[in-house]
Chains A and B, each alone.
Chain A
Amino acid sequence: MQDLVFYFIAGCACVFAVLAVTQRSIFHCALWLAMTLLSVAGVYFYLEAPFLGAIQILVYVGGIITLFVFAIKLTAHIEDKSIRQLNTQWLPAALISLLLFYILIQAFASHPWKNIIPNAPVTSLQVIGRSLMTGYALPFEFMSVILLGALVGAIVIGKVKK
């Protein structure tokens, strides 16, 4: 029963992802991406990582997708459906992607992972919080600096020069 839930969520994520990269309208693509991200959030919940699932929904669907929509609306006419959205190398790209996928499957299949079932205790929110403030304090601080840099950079680049 649990497996069926996972299959459903994973199937949705895969279908939405394909739609997100193949739709003509870029706006639709953004929406399908949002759906994909929601499905991934579902996977996180399924994996008993509710905090990460919440973050996924908040940051991705709430923040990044909104930004995408803004950007799409600001670069107005590209939404036009008559404009070709795929470039000339789509066929080799598709072949390479498929080949990559095949290789990855082969790689996973040659390893006993497929049979592993969880034996570790569920990671609680307290553990994550403690890790961030102790063992991962330095990367955490770096991350804040990166976010600040991105913020400042975005303002500087986006500013209209007089």
Chain B
Amino acid sequence: MMNIAHYVPLSPLLAFVINIIFGRKLKSASAAVAIAASIGSLILSVKVYQGLSFGYGSYHLGQWLTINGKALNFGIIVDPLTVMMLLIVSFIGTLILIYSTGYMHGDIRYSRYFAYISLFMSSMLGLVLSDNFVMLLICWEGVGLCSYLLISFWHERPAAVAAGIKAFVTTRIGDTGLLIGMLILFFTCGTFYFCDLATVKGPEPLMTLAAILIFTGAMGKSAQFPLHVWLPDAMEGPTAVSALIHAATMVAAGVYLVARCFPLFVAHPIALETVAVIGAISALMAASIAVVTNDIKRVMAYSTISQLGLMMLALGVGGLSAGTFHLMTHAFFKALLFLCAGSVIHAVGTQDIQKMGGLFSTLKITSSTFIVGTLALAGIFPFAGFWSKDEILITAWNNHHPIFFGVVLLTSFLTAFYMGRLIFLVLFGKSRSDLHPHESPASMTVPLIVLSLFACFVGFIGSPLKEAGRMEAGVETYWIMLASSVVSISAIFLAYFVYLRGFLPVSIRSRFKGLHDLLSHKYYIDEFYDFIFVKPCALLCRMAYSFDFHVIDGLVNLVADLAQSVSGVLRKFQTGFAQNYLLVQALGLVVIIIWLLKI
């Protein structure tokens, strides 16, 4: 059963081709095509999952290239990590496609939207199936392209276009790192295959550099500090796209890459340390920004950066199983939260949480599922987030990283706090504006219910990559579970008192005005980048432009002007008056006669 895996990405790819070519004719049927293809790949993924019990490894579909005498094959890797990603992507992708039929209803580029989503899924599925860096990079860029197309899907809005470009350029910085890293790996160790990573030997510190560069690619894709700036802006796309980007496809790719190259990182402790530190910085920074953000989708975006930071941190402290487990649970509850946010936005027509409030009474289904998602993200027992976060904490503690342990605790406190703030401001209390919300159609609520069930129970499955000896360790670590629960619950209570009961009113904001400003300006990172990169680049471009305009164009224009002025003299001879020409002809005749007769 294993060797059917390569059909998984082909199914959505086919849907993409059909929708992009016949989209105009299909109209609303294009959604059915995309959903059918997605369900097809889900079924295939389940088949592959069933086949996993017969053993796993990789197989190839034939040779593609020969580089330096080494064959590069169309290789497919099938192992628990891949299968987990296949299931997540195809399952969540299917639900998001169903949700989109309601959310995108009536959009003028309806079929185009479904075509892009199909391509997106296809790229992501291909990415996790690749057994070598080259194929992974191709799918990786495909994912980047689709994210660009979908973030700027409503390209009538300048902000959406800017966000799409920003996402593309920012991730491209990481992609370049990935490319260089994989080429270093190839030229020192001579392999593109993931399965060789555990055994490769190369000169230090070149190998560490390669590992860090590969991580740079992951940093760009997974929106880790300092390449995280594109993700909040990516909220300009349709909300369903945000859900797909955040939960299943785009950002998961970075974590997947680090997990896939995990042996390489383990062999080079400095690279592993880098992963952990970057993860920790991203987790704390994004969580603290989320506390003061007022746009519901941006809160989610920073939450995603923060959670991805936690995954990176988990991987960085050596917890492959913890990181991938969190990746899985996060995929479900973050998709759920985004779809809920989309439903809320669909209902009230605004993204500002200060204008919402008291929506629970009107949006029963959305609100219930929203609360489930929030509890899962906050890590409250027994929801999904609790288990995976617990695993991260345990790994950090067992591997003797007390600082990272503290970071995770602090992050989970902040996470619970801002999620508490979100639901108390949005769902409870009094309505702060005269909106007339209405519940979303069934096509949107059914995926919410399905996802909320998963957000409840997926944690019990446990990590797909269980490590041996995990249970024994668990016995002594019940205090960690307790600690994380206490932290999360206290944070939610704090949020309850601050935002619903109105304790600690405005005075606190004025007292910590500096801090509040710092957070609400996202640590001035955008401004910093603007000053360091964008402004000088723009200056350089302006200089290049003026050089081009005045010197290059000037030269060209000079030549043209010269030709024009000379021809301006010459064209005087072309009077357009026939008898002038005849006169010259007669003169010529005279000259010829003189010359012939030599008079």
Q: Which residues of A contact B (CB under 8 A)?
A: 87, 89, 92-93, 96-97, 99-100, 103-104, 106-107, 110
Contacts and interface: CB of A to CB of B under 8 A. Distances in A.
- Counting from the closest, the 10 A-B pairs by CB-CB distance are A96-B586, A107-B597, A106-B599, A103-B593, A100-B590, A99-B590, A96-B587, A89-B583, A93-B583, A87-B579
Contact of A103 (B580, B583, B594): B594
B543 interface: no
A96 B588 CA distance: 10
Interface string B470-513: 00000000000000000000000000000000000000000000
B583 A92 contact: yes
A128 to B, nearest CB: 32
Q: Is the interface of A mostly helix, strand, loop or mixed?
A: helix
A106 B594 CA distance: 10
A110 B597 contact: yes
Given A96-B587, A100-B589, 9 more contacts: A89-B580, A92-B583, A96-B583, A96-B590, A97-B586, A100-B586, A100-B590, A103-B594, A107-B593
Contacts of B589: 100
A99 B597 CA distance: 14
A17 B597 CA distance: 27
Interface in B572-595: 579-580, 583, 586-587, 589-590, 593-594
Contacts of B587: 96
Contacts of A96: 583, 586-587, 590
Contacts of A103: 590, 593-594, 597, 599
Contacts, number: 30
Interface in B550-590: 579-580, 583, 586-587, 589-590
B586 A107 contact: no
B332 to A, nearest CB: 81
Q: Is the interface of B mostly helix, strand, loop or mixed?
A: helix
A110 B593 CA distance: 14
26 contacts: A87-B579, A89-B579, A89-B580, A89-B583, A92-B583, A93-B586, A96-B586, A96-B590, A97-B586, A99-B590, A100-B586, A100-B589, A100-B590, A100-B593, A103-B590, A103-B593, A103-B594, A103-B597, A103-B599, A106-B597, A106-B599, A107-B593, A107-B597, A107-B599, A110-B597, A110-B599
Nearest to B586: A96
A161 B583 CA distance: 35
A104 B587 CA distance: 14
A86 B583 CA distance: 14
Contacts of B579: 87, 89
A96 B579 CA distance: 13
A103 B589 CA distance: 11
Nearest to A103: B593
A92 B599 CA distance: 22
Contacts of A106: 597, 599
A99 B592 CA distance: 13
A104 B596 CA distance: 12
Contacts of A104: 593
A20 to B, nearest CB: 18
Interface in B16-75: none
A89 B581 CA distance: 11
A104 B583 CA distance: 18
Contacts of B586: 93, 96-97, 100
Contacts of A97: 586
A100 B593 CA distance: 9
A104 B599 CA distance: 10
B63 to A, nearest CB: 73
Contacts of A93: 583, 586
Nearest to A89: B583
B590 to A, nearest CB: 5
Contacts of A99: 590
A58 B587 CA distance: 35
Contacts of B597: 103, 106-107, 110
Contacts of B593: 100, 103-104, 107
A87 B581 CA distance: 13
B287 to A, nearest CB: 86
Nearest to A104: B593
Nearest to B580: A89
A57 B587 CA distance: 33
Nearest to B582: A93
Contacts of B599: 103, 106-107, 110
A99 B583 CA distance: 13
A99 B594 CA distance: 10
Contacts of A87: 579
Contacts of B594: 103
A84 B583 CA distance: 19
A93 B577 CA distance: 14
A87 B580 CA distance: 10
A106 B587 CA distance: 17
A103 B586 CA distance: 13
Nearest to A99: B590
Contacts of A92: 583
A99 B589 CA distance: 11
A141 to B, nearest CB: 32
A12 to B, nearest CB: 26
A22 to B, nearest CB: 16
A87 B582 CA distance: 13
A134 to B, nearest CB: 35
A150 B125 CA distance: 81
Interface string B375-391: 00000000000000000
Nearest to B593: A103
Contacts of A110: 597, 599
A103 to B, nearest CB: 5
B577 to A, nearest CB: 8
Nearest to B598: A110
Nearest to B587: A96
A97 B589 CA distance: 11
